[in-house]
Chains A and B, each alone.
Chain A
Amino acid sequence: MALYSEKVMDHFRNPRNVGVIEDADGVGEVGNAKCGDIMKMYLKIDNDIISDVKFETFGCGSAIASSSMATELIKGKPISEAMELTNKAVAEALDGLPDYKMHCSVLAEEAIKSALDDYHSKQGK
């Protein structure tokens, strides 16, 4: 059996929404190099809708795939929906992650929350 599902490998090999948004409305970075995972999310927000999202990730295959899937799940969605994205939803959308890799999906959830927090604090809310 392969280490990862086909979905994980697809998102790892062809990550969606990779890159940077120079004039992002919200940026979030979570994780640390010591543990071997860092995720950075960039959001563009128009009328409370996430109109664009990009990510950069330093980490293993499942970290890259989780970031990619998380961006897909929130792109074009209202902020309120993105706030509710759970790590479980990310893992499920990837057809599951090995137990010891679940923290990668947690990191993806946290990265999005952190970027949204940044957006809200910039809005003065």
Chain B
Amino acid sequence: MIYADNAATTKMSKAAIDTMFRLVNDTWGNASSLYSVGQTSKEVLEQAREDIANLIGAEPKEIIFTSGGSEADNQAILSAAKIGASKGKKHIISSAFEHHAVLHTLERLKEDGFEITLLDVHEDGIIREDELEDAIREDTCLVTIMYANNEIGTVQPISRLGEICKKHNVLFHTDAVQAIGHIPVNVNDDNVDMLSASAHKFHGPKGVGFLYVKKGIRVTNLINGGAQEKGRRAGTENVPGIAAMAVALKEAVESLSENYENVSKKRDCLIEGLSKIEHSALNGDAKKRLPGNVNFCFEGIEGESLLLLLDDKGIMASSGSACTSGSLDPSHVLLAIGRVHDVAHGSLRLTINEETTDEDVEYIIKAVDEVVTYLRSFSPIWRDLVAGKKQFIL
């Protein structure tokens, strides 16, 4: 079995599992209670906060624990919107290929009278600095741009974009869910005011994440109740999950450079091998992308059948085809980089990690080639393309 869907989620690391198991036993007390069982939980919680803060160059009080990346994105955007609205600034800049946790939150703000500008992500899946600068207005209250895209893995020039926002005095948020633990992330070097992260993308548990908010920025509480997280997020804390997240992030950051080199080499081998399949194309820039991300379109076939047949061969991957998204349209990310519907349906995302071997890479290339060839053998579109009745797009 080859798991090549690490952008969807990762398997928890042994250290994270051990921590979680141990703490389910040891920190069952409520971190808000004053007796010792509660205070033990509190200490573990605050240690995790400090560890995470250190790993990204933040201060502990700038970390708010959340239920994951989606909640962090919602809270960051709604907080900035509230600050903006109080000053009569109701314009937000984002990009066309953000995660739905961002896009759907922005849609909701539109109903409240906000104006949203979505920057073009170009064919290479990279946002242009000058286009951001041109889009900033007097009434812009937030720029929110993802650090790295979850489908095509392209990494944005976050530090430069942050610099531009700083210059214009506009809040800058980044959804770093796919980036953190895989490429270097530091809130100071990256010039970000807010940053979202999710533990299950770096071998931590699901349902746990955090939002970094630079001190001095007023946060809107999405979940009302107790005074946890300094009144910024109510609810008795998931101490074992949070501590496991801190352990997983520490491991990921400590082995980051080693993993980066090793995994990106395998990524490049995959890209090279899959490029040999005729009428295929890599989605997104070949180099400015996450070390484990490979995303291709294959003309004349549909992604879901590709995934099912790869699953039969023991390969777990994903696709941006409409059939896998449960809607009629293929992935908004592929459409945003200019892929037309016809080829966007035939996409394959492979997200490998440090456990992927050279043999796995070889096996994947061979399996994808076989399955694509097989599906094309009875595809009416492929027949028309080969017969010259239709023009190849790729």
Contacts and interface: CB of A to CB of B under 8 A. Distances in A.
Interface of A: 9, 12-13, 15, 18-20, 29, 33-40, 55-61, 63-64, 100-101
A58 B381 contact: yes
Contacts of A61: 304-305, 308, 323
A57 B378 contact: yes
Contact of B378 (A15, A34, A37, A60): A15
Mostly helix, strand, loop or mixed at chain A's interface?
Answer: mixed
Contacts of A64: 305
B326 A58 contact: no
A47 to B, nearest CB: 28
Mostly helix, strand, loop or mixed at chain B's interface?
Answer: helix
Interface of B: 300-305, 308-309, 312, 321-324, 326, 328, 330, 341-342, 345, 378-383
Nearest to A101: B323
Contacts of B380: 29, 38-40, 56-58
B345 A36 contact: yes
Nearest to A19: B378
Contacts of B330: 36
A51 B274 CA distance: 41
Nearest to A15: B378
A60 B379 contact: no
Contact of B312 (A13, A15, A59): A13
A63 B308 CA distance: 13
B323 A60 contact: yes
22 contacts: A9-B308, A12-B305, A12-B308, A13-B312, A15-B378, A20-B383, A29-B380, A33-B341, A33-B342, A33-B381, A34-B342, A35-B341, A36-B330, A37-B302, A39-B380, A40-B380, A58-B301, A58-B302, A58-B382, A64-B305, A100-B326, A101-B323
